Structure 1
Amino acid sequence: MGTPLGDFVRVKRDSIQPESLGLPVHGRRRSPGLRRSDLAARAGISVEYLTRIEQGRDRNPSVAVVNALADALSLDPAERKHLRYLTKITGGECAAHPRPAPPPRDVRPSVLETLRLLEPGIALLTNRLGDILAHTSGYASVMGDSGLLDAEAPNLTRYVFTHPRARSFFADWDDVADEQAFDLWLGPSAASTEWFTAELAPLAGPEFTRRLNGHVLPRRGVLRLSHPAGHELRLRRETLELSSDAQHLVVLLPADDRTAQAVDQLRHQPHGRLRAIS
């Protein structure tokens, strides 16, 4: 059985063309990318050891080996950080939580007060699973007709992969899907991620599992929405990490004048007040 660490190393190895590293191409290949022997040589480890890592039979590589693999794969800083995180959860953090459970949904009063100060702006509080824990009325005015907030406990990840309106609402659905799948690797804990993916995978199908196991680092550019009211919205995202709560405060800002005017029109429609979702 594979591991997140082994899957990531294998995916990155398959994505590298030998000629890009100045290595010779040895005729026709059955599988794409870099040979296991070439990667092992570049990292200074044995092919047998690399095979054990990729197949999940070695779950505790040393820091030196992890750094050597990062160098051999020519990982950028974000990919290196992700590799270190996968090494951590593969090495035993998952085993420390034998009974996966959903994360708490509590929101501190001071965080809710911060959201109130952001009114009538477009802001929400979420965790890495995509649970929407609280949001401003401005967020409801933009997202209210999408169907996302209709659920008793709205979850952006579940919405993206299972709601019939999601693909038309998000103009760049593929990018948003990559973001939501990637963020599952980052918490709020290994146990809650295991619980959530086990619940979502049967509903979302291969589109979800392929992205989850593909480890594609998302671009996180301007968020483009095809609003049911006929507006095309372009929103910039600013994120404040509340590390002690494993939560994120996200503020969406109009990226152009046309979006600002459309958002102003949507705000004049009745959408309620600040909402905290327990």
Structure 2
Amino acid sequence: MGTPLGDFVRAKRDSIQPATLGLPDHGRRRSPGLRRLDLATRAGISVEYLTRIEQGRDRNPSVAVLNALADALSLAPAEREHLRYLAKITGGECTAHARPAPPSREVRPAVRETLRLLEPGIAAVTNRLGDILAHTGGFGALMDGTGLLDPDEPNLTRYVFTDSRARGLFTDWDDIADEVAFDLWRGPSAESAEWLTAELAPAAGPDFTRRMNRHLVPRRGVLRLAHPSGHALRLDRETLELAGDGQQIVVLLPADEATEQALGRLLRPARGSLRAIS
């Protein structure tokens, strides 16, 4: 049985073409990418040890080994952070045999007041599971008619994978699907991420599972929306981490003049209608 850490290392090894690292092409092989021998040599570890990591038989590689693998795979900074996180949960911090439970939906009063100060802008308090815990009136006006806020406990991840309207709303739906799947690895806790994954997998199908197992670190570029009003919106995203709460404030800002003008019309009725979702 593999582990998230082993799956990630193997997925990255399979995605790298030897020529990009100046290595010879060994001809046709059963699997793409680097051979285990190539990666082990670059990392300065044995092939047998790399095999144990990839197959989940070694769950506690040292920091030095993790750094060596990151260097050998030429990981970007965000991918290095993800590698360290997977090593942490693989090493035993995920209580796999405990019954998973949803995380707290409580938003601290100071965070709600911060959100209030952002009115009439477009902002929401979320966690990495995609739960929308509170939002400004501007966010509510922007999402009116999209279906995202229809449930009593709205969740972006569930919406992206199970609501057909999401594919019409998000111009770059594939990129957004990769983002929300990746963020489950960094949920408020490993247990809460396991809870949502177990709930979503049957409804979302193999596409969701495939994206989860790819460990693809997303780029998070401009958010493009095909809004139900007929406007094509381009929004920059600023994320303010609330590390102690496992939450973040996400602020959406117009990325061009056309979007700014469209938002002026869409958000006109939204002043002063902050909503906390409990």
| One-letter amino acid of the counterpart of residue 48, structure 2 | E
Q: Deviations over 1:105-151 (max 9, x none)?
A: 00111111111111110000000000000000100111111000000
Offset of residue 248 of structure 1: 0.3
Correspondence 1:32-181 to 2 at 5 A: 32-95=32-95, 98-181=98-181
Q: Deviations over 1:72-98 (max 9, x none)?
A: 111111111110010000000113772
Offset of residue 269 of structure 1: 4.5
TM-score by length of 1: 0.97
Unaligned residue ranges in structure 2 (runs of 5+): none
Contact 1:141 1:271 in 2 (8 A): no
Offset of residue 43 of structure 1: 1.1
Residue in 2 that maps onto 1:261:
261
TM-score by length of 2: 0.97
RMSD: 1.3
Residue in 1 that maps onto 2:210:
210
SS in 1 for 2:98: coil
Measure, in 2, the Cα distance between the counterparts of 1:215 and 1:232: 30
Unaligned residue ranges in structure 1 (runs of 5+): none
Offset of residue 268 of structure 1: 3.0
Measure, in 1, the Cα distance between the counterparts of 2:7 and 2:166: 28
Residue in 2 that maps onto 1:25:
25
Contact 1:52 1:58 in 2 (8 A): yes
Offset of residue 195 of structure 1: 0.8
Correspondence 1:170-249 to 2 at 5 A: 170-249=170-249
Contact 2:119 2:271 in 1 (8 A): no
Measure, in 2, the Cα distance between the counterparts of 1:96 and 1:183: 19
Identity percentage over the alignment?
Answer: 76
Q: Deviations over 1:16-47 (max 9, x none)?
A: 11111111111211110000111111111111
Contact 1:6 1:56 in 2 (8 A): yes
| One-letter amino acid of the counterpart of residue 194, structure 1 | E
| One-letter amino acid of the counterpart of residue 218, structure 1 | P
| One-letter amino acid of the counterpart of residue 91, structure 1 | G
SS in 1 for 2:252: strand
| One-letter amino acid of the counterpart of residue 226, structure 1 | A
